[in-house]
Amino acid sequence: MNKINTLQDLEEIKKRVRPLLAVREDTNFARFKEARQIDVLVCRGTGCTAAGADEVEDAFREAIKRRGLEKRVRVNVTKIGCRGFCEKGPNVTITPGDILYTRVRRADVDEIVEKHLVRGEIVERLVYVDPISNKPAPANKDIEFYKRQRRIVLFLNGLIDPWSIEEYMAFDGYRAFIKALTSMKPDDVVEEVLKSGLRGRGGAGFPTGRKWGMVRSAQGNEKFVVCNGDEGDPGAFMNRSVLEGNPHTLIEGMLIGAFAIGNVRQGYAYVRAEYPLAIETLNHAIKQAREYGLLGQNILGTGFSFDLDIFPGAGAFVCGEETALLISIEGKRGNPRQRPPFPANKGLFDKPTTLNNVETWSIVPQIVLKGADWYKGIGVGGNAGTKTFCLVGKITNSGIAEVPVGTPLGHVVFDIGGGPPKGKSFKSVQIGGPSGGVIPIEHINTPVDYESVTSLGAIMGSGGLIVMDEDSCMVDMAKFFLQFTKDESCGKCLPCRAGIPKMLEILNKITQGHGTMEDLDVLQELAEMVGSASLCGLGQTAPNPVLSTIRHFRAEYESHIIDKKCPAAVCAGLFRAPCQHTCPVGLDVPGYVSFIKDGRFDEAYRLIRQRMPFPSVCGRVCNHPCEGKCRRGQMDDPVAIRHLKRFAADWAAEKGFEYTPKVNGKRNESVAIVGAGPAGLSAAQDLAMDGYQVTVFEALPVAGGMLAVGIPEYRLPNEMLNAEVSAIEKLGVDIRLNTRIHDVDALFAQGYKAVFLALGAHLGERMRVPGEDVKGVYDAVEFLRNVNLGREVEMGKKVAVIGGGNTATDSARVALRMGASQVDMFYRREKKDMPAIEEEIVAVEEEGIHIHELTAPTRVLSQEGKVTGLELVRMELGEFDKSGRKTPRQIKGSEYSVACDTVIQAIGQRPDTGFTEKYGIKIGMGRTISADRRTLATDRPGVFAGGDAVTGPWTVIEAIAAGQRAASSIKRYLQGQELGPRVDREDQETFLIPRPEDVEDVKERPRVTISELHPGKRASSFKEVNMGYTAQEAMSEASRCLRCDAEAGGE
């Protein structure tokens, strides 16, 4: 037996073992071929083992033996601990070269051995591919996820065999303990830990050194040290990775603690029983430490005695609370007890007890070895050290991340985590598990440290970090955690036991659409009481998810309560199907999709048309938020809802099928609508259907607003738009073109009883750079309008388009069709941050237009009043802004110029609202009209406003919805009713939606691609690019619908 008696003994083991491990630190793949030793490191953490790492390990041993590789080089197949990239497991690293293979199956092993181990070539298909850049990153060191971490707690994870005490010793394991034991005074150790600034990593952040000092000075000649390994937060597993990957560091930390605190002869590691592998590994490590004389009686002959035992927890979350944990070790029901007295004075068996979390104990050896200053130097902004986090949820790279305390949240979520997958937008993180709270995107630059996180209503917690994106509902999230704490409450104190279920009841009510605003007050009051009056940490923090979501996402609650809408389309109690729920006008998507599937196209068309007057327009240019929430999208691709709608509209047009809504009665009041865009016309149709006299005033010579003058012909042919406009006119709506209205009083004087301002946003924003007022610089809105109206537009050969939105892509593609030979787009952020819809960006590039990212104009170059070029500056990304994108900053001195003869600035639009204020109609941000979000009422009674004039440039479907909402409000106004949230108009026709057939086995099948005009043929004409589905294609695509409406509705 290798009993350690002196520091020298330890040195000798290190000297012997360390060289054998040198190869593992060699990250240079070039040296692989001449390597005399190859280590195959198979991760045997819980995640990888569950995925089959044991088979993989065996397969490696067999394959290596079979090939007799050992005869040529020294090959070791070694179990290593968790590196925290569990989602990709089983993971195998081969050194030298540090090459990582992910998701390795037994069947892959032969290939790896043959190709990599024998021939020295990397097996490309199994290496990690960066999900953002799509580039392979074969070595661990190349992986963004690891690259940006600072691993000190986890530094040996994945490097050493957790079952070998000697490998730990090879990296100075137990050196700190022996140093403390033989050359330091206990007080000095406490002092060192205090000086290091280490704070409890279990979540509360109490200074560890102070805690030790308190227990050291507490009365009593029998004291305990205890490790809290009852990691119970959903989605948190960082402690497990230490227990499984490097158990000796915990033992050493506790040894140092026991020595420093004094009168400690026994320690306990409380590890949850759900961690069998962690318990097994730690048990083995304890046994080894005893064999080496590092645990037990009279350690190193110094008279210091200490032993450690594992106490497996029985699966109660509350046992993570310190008093409950200690009572549980005493063999009683694990209920917390009221503090004070604190465990430091009255802990385990009423003796003074130090309780720290796994991560806290585990870093102690390095602090003692490398000194307090080393540790203190690691954090950011005065926060010492690192913190490990478990990144889970809607995140591309899920796994364990260790970063310096104080690292900005955005850095963790985006730079390490890669942001939400599938390009969804980031919304918030839940930090600290069920006890924590949310941090919304607005605070993405918040440094993750104890104080900052607490000030936002969350807690640091043990390190669970659950990422949420646009598809996460915050009310639902609060419900989830409350359900958890409700089940895990011990039931001892009333506020927690009875208060949490009551809060949950209220949340359930809200998510089922029965909530009231009073409920929200009661909820908040209850939450505050439970948080303040509960006995232990569980109850005190359980309301945090509720309080912090109300604090940061109150609007989302209000949306559930007032509008009966779940913006993320999660709360199934509020809707039939997420697509329908997400559609601003609430189109019955499952209905018409299933009609199309059955070939009943006329019904499909009528179903769409009776809700909304623009099937053809929306079938072409809608930004289809419905598809973003399509359940099928979670499987492969969302159903092509927009294409199907277009198919139905085209089919109707082709068949000459006309749909004329019925007009119900006749009313004498007349209503004036200013603007014949989608908002104005939709309002006009709804009001006309109810028998009102409607006049629409339009400044332009055509009706349709931006649909007519903003969207190019190749996306939306005029004849399609005109047909839908004339259907509205047939209802008796009077559209007066070329009539600009700038006098609201006059309208009332003419006898109109109500006015709807749907002015649109037709003024272009300017770049505000020197030289922009020369010939050849166009404003995109104006440019597109002129082209659409067939006006003369002078077009050069080399065109530069500034901006990244849909107007920019439209302008660029139109410029190409107008005869430009080269079109370049310049965008100040990265391409992935462009606001234009994705298919437009794809089309732009297909048509040969080059997108220059991270560049912004600084000056327009001209000669003789005509554009000759553009001076630009390169941009770099700084902090995150409130939209979760990084803010671009100019790189000084990086200016460059390009030659061009036309510049189209497409950087924003605003409404022309200069006239309204004198009529008592208030103007808000961005020169938009201020109107109530729900009723669209302005400050002046009888005047309503909606569409882009209120929201700024937005989408067609939102404008249509606004028109309908305005119509509903105007009706109520005229009938003397109180205004309120929109009520959907009653359907005129009832449809019998086909029942879904039993879908037994849904196989993955991508969406049916839509035929498009060949890119080469596009530049020469304004012919529609998108050619639509054939009936066959449409039916096939429609059959991909999973009919989740039936599921939710319980049909």
Nearer to another protein, 525 or 743 (CB): 525
Task: Please report how close the Cβ of residue 199 comes to another protein at its closest, in angstroms.
Answer: 17
Task: Please report how close the Cβ of residue 551 comes to another protein at its closest, in angstroms.
Answer: 19
Task: Please report how close the Cβ of residue 494 comes to another protein at its closest, in angstroms.
Answer: 6
Task: Please report how close the Cβ of residue 459 comes to another protein at its closest, in angstroms.
Answer: 13
3-state per-residue secondary structure call for 276-291: HHHHHHHHHHHHHHHH
The closest alpha carbon to 467, from 428, 497, 422, 410, belongs to 428
The H-or-E segment that residue 806 falls in is helix 806-817
The verdict on 495 binding another protein (CB under 8 A) reads yes
Q: Which of 491, 770, 819, 920 binds another protein (CB under 8 A)?
A: 491
DSSP-derived secondary structure letter, 858: E
The verdict on 497 binding another protein (CB under 8 A) reads yes
Nearer to another protein, 524 or 616 (CB): 524
Q: What ranges make up the beta strands (E) of 881-1019?
A: 886-890, 896-899, 902-905, 909-910, 943-945
The verdict on 397 binding another protein (CB under 8 A) reads no
Task: Please report how close the Cβ of residue 481 comes to another protein at its closest, in angstroms.
Answer: 14
Nearer to another protein, 522 or 1002 (CB): 522
Q: Which of 151, 248, 492, 910 binds another protein (CB under 8 A)?
A: 492
Task: Please report how close the Cβ of residue 549 comes to another protein at its closest, in angstroms.
Answer: 21
CA dist list (Å): 563 to 478, 566, 952: 19, 9, 22
CB atoms within 10 A of CB 488: 20
3-state per-residue secondary structure call for 42-105: EECCHHHHHCCHHHHHHHHHHHHHHHCHHHCCEEEEEEECCCCCHHHCCCEEEECCCEEECCCC
The closest alpha carbon to 85, from 55, 125, 41, 122, belongs to 41
The verdict on 501 binding another protein (CB under 8 A) reads yes
The verdict on 351 binding another protein (CB under 8 A) reads no
Q: Which of 93, 281, 397, 540 binds another protein (CB under 8 A)?
A: 540
Task: Please report how close the Cβ of residue 504 comes to another protein at its closest, in angstroms.
Answer: 10
The verdict on 67 binding another protein (CB under 8 A) reads no
Q: What does the alpha-carbon distance between residue 636 and residue 1004 come to, in Å, rounded to a whole number?
A: 6
CA dist list (Å): 1043 to 590, 633, 635, 999: 6, 13, 14, 9
CA dist list (Å): 350 to 211, 219, 229: 17, 11, 21
The verdict on 147 binding another protein (CB under 8 A) reads no
The verdict on 455 binding another protein (CB under 8 A) reads no
Nearer to another protein, 494 or 555 (CB): 494
Q: What does the alpha-carbon distance between residue 714 and residue 822 come to, in Å, rounded to a whole number?
A: 19
The verdict on 321 binding another protein (CB under 8 A) reads no
Q: What does the alpha-carbon distance between residue 926 and residue 911 come to, in Å, rounded to a whole number?
A: 8
Task: Please report how close the Cβ of residue 183 comes to another protein at its closest, in angstroms.
Answer: 40
Q: Which of residues 331-350 bind another protein (CB under 8 A)?
A: 333, 335, 337-338, 340-341
Stretch binding another protein (CB under 8 A), from 429-437, 487-495, 589-597, 1004-1012: 487-495
The verdict on 893 binding another protein (CB under 8 A) reads no
* Sign of the Cα pseudo-torsion (444, 445, 449, 450, in order): negative
Nearer to another protein, 73 or 529 (CB): 529
Stretch binding another protein (CB under 8 A), from 71-79, 409-417, 522-530, 863-871: 522-530
The verdict on 532 binding another protein (CB under 8 A) reads yes
The verdict on 516 binding another protein (CB under 8 A) reads no
Task: Please report how close the Cβ of residue 525 comes to another protein at its closest, in angstroms.
Answer: 7
The verdict on 234 binding another protein (CB under 8 A) reads no
Residues 534 and 483: beta-carbon distance below 8 Å: no
Residues 304 and 264: beta-carbon distance below 8 Å: no
Q: Which of 148, 290, 502, 859 binds another protein (CB under 8 A)?
A: 502
Q: Please count the residues of this chain forming the interface with another protein, following the rule CB under 8 A.
A: 35
The H-or-E segment that residue 1046 falls in is helix 1044-1049
Task: Please report how close the Cβ of residue 473 comes to another protein at its closest, in angstroms.
Answer: 24
Task: Please report how close the Cβ of residue 321 comes to another protein at its closest, in angstroms.
Answer: 13
Residues 174 and 164: beta-carbon distance below 8 Å: no
The verdict on 323 binding another protein (CB under 8 A) reads no
Q: What does the alpha-carbon distance between residue 11 and residue 16 come to, in Å, rounded to a whole number?
A: 9
The alpha carbon of residue 953 and the mean position of all alpha carbons in its chain are separated, in whole angstroms, by: 25
Task: Please report how close the Cβ of residue 265 comes to another protein at its closest, in angstroms.
Answer: 20
Task: Please report how close the Cβ of residue 213 comes to another protein at its closest, in angstroms.
Answer: 20
The verdict on 499 binding another protein (CB under 8 A) reads yes
Nearer to another protein, 234 or 501 (CB): 501
Task: Please report how close the Cβ of residue 533 comes to another protein at its closest, in angstroms.
Answer: 5
Hey, what are 488's tokens? 């895990």
Q: Which residues pair with 859 in a beta bridge?
A: 871
The verdict on 1009 binding another protein (CB under 8 A) reads no
Contacts of 224 (CB under 8 A, 6+ apart): 264, 266, 267, 268, 347, 348, 349, 351, 352, 353, 354
Nearer to another protein, 164 or 534 (CB): 534
The verdict on 500 binding another protein (CB under 8 A) reads yes
The verdict on 900 binding another protein (CB under 8 A) reads no
Nearer to another protein, 539 or 776 (CB): 539
Residues 946 and 679: beta-carbon distance below 8 Å: yes
3-state per-residue secondary structure call for 548-561: HHHHHHHHHHHHHH
Scanning the structure block, which residue is given the tokens 């139109």? 814
Q: Which of 22, 517, 522, 842 binds another protein (CB under 8 A)?
A: 522
CB atoms within 10 A of CB 307: 16
Q: What does the alpha-carbon distance between residue 675 and residue 747 come to, in Å, rounded to a whole number?
A: 14
CB atoms within 10 A of CB 984: 10
Stretch binding another protein (CB under 8 A), from 520-528, 722-730, 793-801, 960-968: 520-528
Hey, what are 718's tokens? 């005029």
Q: Which amino acid is at 743?
A: D
Nearer to another protein, 164 or 541 (CB): 541
Q: What does the alpha-carbon distance between residue 840 and residue 621 come to, in Å, rounded to a whole number?
A: 10
Task: Please report how close the Cβ of residue 233 comes to another protein at its closest, in angstroms.
Answer: 17
The verdict on 110 binding another protein (CB under 8 A) reads no
The verdict on 103 binding another protein (CB under 8 A) reads no
Q: Which of 35, 264, 526, 1010 binds another protein (CB under 8 A)?
A: 526
The verdict on 316 binding another protein (CB under 8 A) reads yes
Task: Please report how close the Cβ of residue 429 comes to another protein at its closest, in angstroms.
Answer: 25
The closest alpha carbon to 388, from 227, 252, 205, 201, belongs to 201
Pairing between strand 426-431 and 304-313? unpaired
Task: Please report how close the Cβ of residue 317 comes to another protein at its closest, in angstroms.
Answer: 9
Stretch binding another protein (CB under 8 A), from 258-266, 529-537, 723-731, 968-976: 529-537
Q: Which of residues 272-311 bind another protein (CB under 8 A)?
A: none
The verdict on 487 binding another protein (CB under 8 A) reads yes
The closest alpha carbon to 781, from 906, 933, 965, belongs to 906
Task: Please report how close the Cβ of residue 561 comes to another protein at its closest, in angstroms.
Answer: 17
Stretch binding another protein (CB under 8 A), from 3-11, 485-493, 903-911, 925-933: 485-493
Binding residues for another protein (CB under 8 A): 316, 318, 333, 335, 337-338, 340-341, 486-495, 497-502, 505, 522, 525-526, 529, 531-535, 540
